[in-house]
């Protein structure tokens, strides 16, 4: 079996880095990976799909934000002096991801804004203004306390990390200013996390990092540009970055946000962790086999790394889509569980039958009667504790799909991750959740676009 994972450049130490014992030690992980070795190609396909979907989402979202500003620019009068905030307010109400839309003159001074306290200010990055007057320019992410002051847009998470869209305004042949849109960076983090659609709900994490910073060369390679799913205890099932993640080499911790405070290094070496390193070196990376590689928490993970560029941004970003090695290969096939139930029942039946033959003087008819009763009891137990539970899980998934297929389904409903088993039915359930989440996003985008047409 030819796998892309085999081409990842790992040193000898990186291939032997796991401890011998523990939940994520050599013995446990080697056994789990061995039992699931036939799924390696499928897992590769899964992570490639996750990464491709996230990049596509980001690019479509960026294109949509530019379209919002272009539609607004077409409605604005040619003279900056004739502008009022009503058109900006209307666009802000329909463009849910922006927290502020404003207009600057060529000097960078804000002359009109949906946030009145910003009018008259001259607080933008001069180099960004210069670029934004030449062509559509996407600045960021960067920190801006005004973003924190204005408040969140569409994300329940919020801090001062910002993306700023600049669209030049032209009157005749002259650039007279720029139309600007402020987006809290947590909006982008929500896009790539797609929490309701996580295939690996315990450990799955998708995060963006810097590959090549052309606008601000001071930003290092590997620096975080998006919120980690483990930033706080909202989704974390254990330690998180704000409380501190303990390793043998110190505590990995952030004060306010993941962005710019974390550089995705292996705590043991202080160097970029192998996934980020190889993604930057090759433009992409894929690794899903034993022993995984150490992430910035020094936990064995596997996943896909990609690099990409968003419209208007001069920088090149990278994104890792990862899951813990332990969670991904925790699954045990339905085939194994059913076989265990069957074999256990047969052992019990043979054991009782043999005991009756060797240790009692019962006639053959009585022994046969007891054996038949044992068969019935074993069948009932297998039904109750094995096959019926499997059928119930399948029926629940069928019900959800049926409701959606009939056009009456609630696209906000999800199968309960906590009740999913670590087998094929759990895989199917998580993919159904991901499908519904994706469908919900598509329907929402269609509704949003139809409002724009009106």
What's the pLDDT at 197? 61
d(CA 320, CA 408): 36
Average pLDDT value for residue range 101-124: 96
Contacts of residue 293, defined as CB under 8 A and 6 or more positions apart, other chains included, come to: 10, 14, 17, 273, 274, 275, 287, 300, 301, 302
Pick from 272, 302, 293: nearest CA to 16: 293
pLDDT band at 361 (very low <50, low <70, confident <90, very high): confident
Q: How many residues does the chain have?
A: 454
What's the pLDDT at 445? 65
Mean pLDDT of the chain: 90
Dihedral sign for Cα atoms in the order 289, 290, 293, 297: positive
**How is residue 346 written in tokens?**
């047969």
d(CA 368, CA 348): 15
What's the pLDDT at 106? 94
| pLDDT tens sequence across 298-323 | 999 999 999 999 999 999 999 999 99
What's the pLDDT at 3? 93
Average pLDDT value for residue range 95-106: 96
Let me know: does 244 contact 256? Beta carbons within 8 Å.
no
Let me know: does 200 contact 420? Beta carbons within 8 Å.
no
pLDDT band at 450 (very low <50, low <70, confident <90, very high): low
Pick from 84, 162, 97, 151: nearest CA to 128: 162
**How is residue 11 written in tokens?**
């040193």
Please report the beta strands in 129-224, taking only residues with DSSP state E, as ranges in sequence order. 137-143, 161-171, 174-184, 205-212
What's the pLDDT at 5? 95
DSSP secondary structure letter of residue 361: -
The residue behind tokens 């068969």 is 375
Give yes or no for residue 453 having a pLDDT over 70.
no
What's the pLDDT at 84? 76
What's the pLDDT at 420? 76
Give yes or no for residue 122 having a pLDDT over 70.
yes
Enclosing H/E stretch for 344? helix 334-359
What's the pLDDT at 59? 97
d(CA 263, CA 18): 22
Give yes or no for residue 433 having a pLDDT over 90.
no
| pLDDT tens sequence across 31-86 | 999 999 999 999 999 999 999 999 999 999 999 999 999 999 998 887 776 777 88
What's the pLDDT at 2? 86
What's the pLDDT at 451? 58
What's the pLDDT at 281? 97
The residue behind tokens 């130490």 is 13
Q: With DSSP H G I counted as helix, E B as strand and the rest as coil, what are the percentages for the chain, rounded to 5? A: 45, 20, 35
d(CA 57, CA 191): 7
Pick from 225, 234, 242, 224: nearest CA to 295: 224
DSSP letters of 217-228? TTSPTTBB-S--
**How is residue 206 written in tokens?**
């998708």
CA angle 221, 222, 228 (to 5 degrees): 150
The three-state secondary structure class of 308 is strand
Percent of the chain residues topping a pLDDT of 70: 94
Let me know: does 386 contact 343? Beta carbons within 8 Å.
no
Give yes or no for residue 232 having a pLDDT over 60.
yes
Q: Can you name the residues that pair with 287 across neighbouring β-strands?
A: 303
What's the pLDDT at 200? 84
Q: Can you name the residues that pair with 164 across neighbouring β-strands?
A: 139, 182
What's the pLDDT at 241? 92
What's the pLDDT at 423? 79
CA-only gyration radius of the chain, Å: 28
What's the pLDDT at 314? 98
Domains in the chain, please, with CATH? 4-56+198-328 (no CATH), 76-184 (3.30.450.20), 334-449 (no CATH)
| pLDDT tens sequence across 341-355 | 899 999 999 999 999
pLDDT band at 272 (very low <50, low <70, confident <90, very high): very high
Q: Mean pLDDT: which of 83-97, 200-214, 306-320 is highest?
A: 306-320
What's the pLDDT at 449? 59
Give yes or no for residue 454 having a pLDDT over 60.
no
Give yes or no for residue 452 having a pLDDT over 60.
no
pLDDT band at 332 (very low <50, low <70, confident <90, very high): confident
The three-state secondary structure class of 279 is helix
pLDDT band at 1 (very low <50, low <70, confident <90, very high): low
């Amino acid at each position: 079996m030819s796998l892309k994972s085999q081409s990842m450049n790992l040193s000898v130490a990186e291939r032997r880095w796991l401890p011998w014992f523990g939940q994520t030690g050599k013995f446990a992980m080697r056994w789990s990976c061995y039992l699931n070795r036939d799924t390696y190609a499928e897992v590769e396909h899964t992570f490639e799909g996750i990464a491709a979907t996230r990049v596509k989402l980001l690019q479509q979202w960026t294109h949509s934000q530019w379209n919002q500003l272009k539609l607004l620019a077409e409605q604005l009068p040619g003279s900056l002096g004739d502008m009022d905030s009503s058109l900006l307010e209307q666009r802000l109400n329909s463009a849910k991801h922006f927290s502020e839309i404003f207009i600057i003159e060529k000097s960078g001074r804000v002359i009109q804004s949906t946030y009145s306290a910003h009018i008259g200010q001259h607080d933008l990055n001069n180099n960004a203004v210069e670029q934004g007057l030449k062509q559509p320019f996407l600045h960021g992410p960067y920190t801006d306390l005004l973003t924190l002051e204005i408040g969140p847009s569409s994300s329940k998470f919020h801090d001062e990390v910002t993306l700023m869209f600049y669209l030049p305004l032209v009157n005749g042949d002259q650039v007279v200013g720029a139309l600007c849109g402020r987006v809290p960076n947590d909006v982008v983090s929500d896009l790539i996390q797609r929490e309701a659609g996580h295939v690996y709900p315990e450990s799955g994490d998708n995060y963006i990092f810097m590959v090549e910073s052309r606008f601000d060369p001071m930003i290092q390679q590997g620096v975080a540009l998006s919120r980690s799913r483990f930033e706080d205890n909202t989704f974390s099932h254990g330690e998180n970055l704000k409380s501190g993640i303990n390793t043998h080499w110190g505590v990995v911790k952030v004060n306010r946000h993941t962005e710019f405070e974390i550089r995705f290094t292996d705590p043991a070496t202080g160097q970029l962790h192998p996934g980020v390193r190889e993604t930057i070196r090759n433009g992409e990376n894929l690794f899903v086999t034993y022993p995984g590689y150490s992430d910035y928490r020094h936990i064995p993970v596997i996943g896909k790394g990609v690099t990409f560029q968003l419209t208007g941004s001069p920088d090149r970003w990278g994104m890792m889509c990862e899951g813990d090695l332990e969670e991904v290969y925790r699954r045990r096939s339905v085939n194994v569980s059913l076989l265990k139930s069957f074999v256990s029942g047969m052992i019990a039946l043979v054991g009782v039958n043999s005991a009756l033959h060797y240790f009692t003087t019962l006639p053959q008819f009585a022994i046969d009667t007891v054996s038949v009763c044992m068969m019935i009891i074993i069948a009932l137990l297998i039904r109750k504790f094995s096959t019926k539970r499997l059928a119930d899980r399948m029926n629940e998934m069928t019900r959800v799909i049926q409701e959606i297929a009939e056009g009456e389904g609630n696209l906000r409903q999800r199968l309960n991750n906590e009740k999913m088993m670590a087998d094929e039915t759990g895989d199917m359930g998580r993919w159904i959740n991901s499908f519904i989440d994706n469908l919900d996003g598509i329907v929402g985008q269609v509704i949003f676009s139809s409002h724009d047409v009106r």
